[in-house]
Amino acid sequence: MQLLDHNAPKIGYFCGYMPIELILTAGLSPSRILGGPVKASYNNTYLPQNFCSFSRNCFSLMISGMYDFLDGVIFTNADQAMERLYDCWRKKMKTQFVYMLDVPKNRNNTAINYYRNRLEVLSQVLCRKFSGESPDLMKLRQCIRYMNEVRKEIKALYITKPQQLSFSQIHNTIKNLLEGPFKIPILNMEITSRINCNNISNNDKRIIVIGSMLENSELLQYIEERISVVKEDLCTGWRFCEIEVDLDISDPYLAVARAYLLRTPCPRMHCFSERSNYIEALIDRLFIDGIIYFASQFRVPDSYEAVMIREEICRKRGIKFLLIEREHGKAPSAAELNRVDAFLETL
């Protein structure tokens, strides 16, 4: 099946709640914006210093022209910082299509139906803008099936993770897939063969790594070389392949809305009890000694969740917890690595 033209217009998006299926249906190439190293920072002129580090990083890259290749950008209302970045993008960039997708922050039926309608509107806007046609529901189903397959294959890597395969390698593969250019098809064997083995620690202590997006896998690799990471729960990792859209639901928009909204909630959602149940279940199942939480500095949803996990779960259960507040786009600093070393020694 030919899903994408080689020269398909490229659409950037920021959030794991933005369904890639809709972008593919419109014949567009999705590219997740994850930030990265910046040569010059223009942040302080426009955004305050104590502003979400991820948004500041993306803003700097945007101003320096790193995202000029994009034909469109889709934002979601993950937090207020993202909404301000949307304002800046509209004001400063000449991207022909800039859109804000309103993703509900709870998961009841009303929210699902609302989200379904927002997705239908987005799909129509995208198709009309770039092809002048209405969305093809048959193609949407094809794209759903395709993305289900891609996620299933990566999920299989996680589940049947061979001894020599590290989470940082799987994470890197997902990150490359998300950032694009979007390659089709991706086969399990192909992914595995592209991943070179690196050191995985034989340390008998067990930890899990939680957090939002990581723009590089360096820190995760550093940790894995020192201790046994038994679970990775990152937005750009496991949480990506957790989604499975139910093809038996006759309305594909509703199916997509349900799958994206009903998966394990991320810190942006207002459902900490469900999130904490999920993390507690992981702790019970995996017999872990500690949790390392990656948060982008000043990113509000991450900061809140990190404190809640530390206070409500780790302190009560006597599990060690380390919060690494990273400045997004920067390589791990000596201080961060030192903190990781010290934490692992205390386990």
Tell me the residue type at 243: I
Give the rounded distance of the alpha carbon of 18 from its chain centre: 10
335 lies in the site for other proteins, by CB under 8 A: yes
Residues in the chain: 347
Contacting other proteins (CB under 8 A), which of 108, 164, 199, 346? 346
Bridge partners of 320, per DSSP, are 290
Q: How far is the CB of 317 from other proteins (least distance, A)?
A: 14
Residue that has been written with the tokens 């309608």 in this structure: 117
User: Is the Cβ of residue 40 or residue 335 nearer to other proteins in the bound state?
Assistant: 335
Q: Are 13 and 23 in contact (CB under 8 A)?
A: yes
Q: What are phi and psi of 331, to 5 degrees?
A: -65, 155
User: Is the Cβ of residue 265 or residue 290 nearer to other proteins in the bound state?
Assistant: 290
49 lies in the site for other proteins, by CB under 8 A: no
Contacting other proteins (CB under 8 A), which of 1, 40, 189, 334? 334
Q: Which stretch binds other proteins (CB under 8 A): 99-107, 204-212, 257-265, 333-341?
A: 333-341
Q: Hey, what are 256's tokens? A: 């997509």
Whole-angstrom distance, CA of residue 195 vs CA of residue 208:
22
SS3 331: coil
Q: How far is the CB of 309 from other proteins (least distance, A)?
A: 15
Q: What are phi and psi of 118, to 5 degrees?
A: -65, -40
Q: How far is the CB of 346 from other proteins (least distance, A)?
A: 4
Q: How far is the CB of 332 from other proteins (least distance, A)?
A: 12
DSSP state of 68: T
- Contact map string, positions 309 to 328, toward other proteins, x by CB under 8 A: -----------x--------
Q: Are 47 and 80 in contact (CB under 8 A)?
A: no
248 lies in the site for other proteins, by CB under 8 A: no
Q: What are phi and psi of 98, to 5 degrees?
A: -125, 120
Q: Which stretch binds other proteins (CB under 8 A): 79-87, 275-283, 301-309, 336-344?
A: 336-344
Q: How far is the CB of 31 from other proteins (least distance, A)?
A: 32
Q: Which stretch binds other proteins (CB under 8 A): 1-9, 75-83, 198-206, 339-347?
A: 339-347
Q: How far is the CB of 344 from other proteins (least distance, A)?
A: 9
341 lies in the site for other proteins, by CB under 8 A: yes
Q: What is the DSSP string of 209-249?
A: EEES--S-SHHHHHHHTTSEEEEEEETTTHHHHT----TTS
204 lies in the site for other proteins, by CB under 8 A: no
Conformation bin of residue 48: beta by default, left when phi > 0, alpha when psi is -120 to 50:
beta
339 lies in the site for other proteins, by CB under 8 A: yes
User: Is the Cβ of residue 205 or residue 320 nearer to other proteins in the bound state?
Assistant: 320
Q: Hey, what are 109's tokens? A: 């039926």
342 lies in the site for other proteins, by CB under 8 A: yes
Conformation bin of residue 65: beta by default, left when phi > 0, alpha when psi is -120 to 50:
left
Helix H or strand E segment including 323: strand 320-326
Let me know the angle formed at the C-alpha of 179 by 177 and 181, rounded to the nearest 5 degrees: 75
44 lies in the site for other proteins, by CB under 8 A: no
Q: Which stretch binds other proteins (CB under 8 A): 118-126, 178-186, 189-197, 337-345?
A: 337-345
- Contact map string, positions 114 to 153, toward other proteins, x by CB under 8 A: ----------------------------------------
List interacting residues with other proteins (CB under 8 A): 320, 334-335, 338-339, 341-342, 345-346
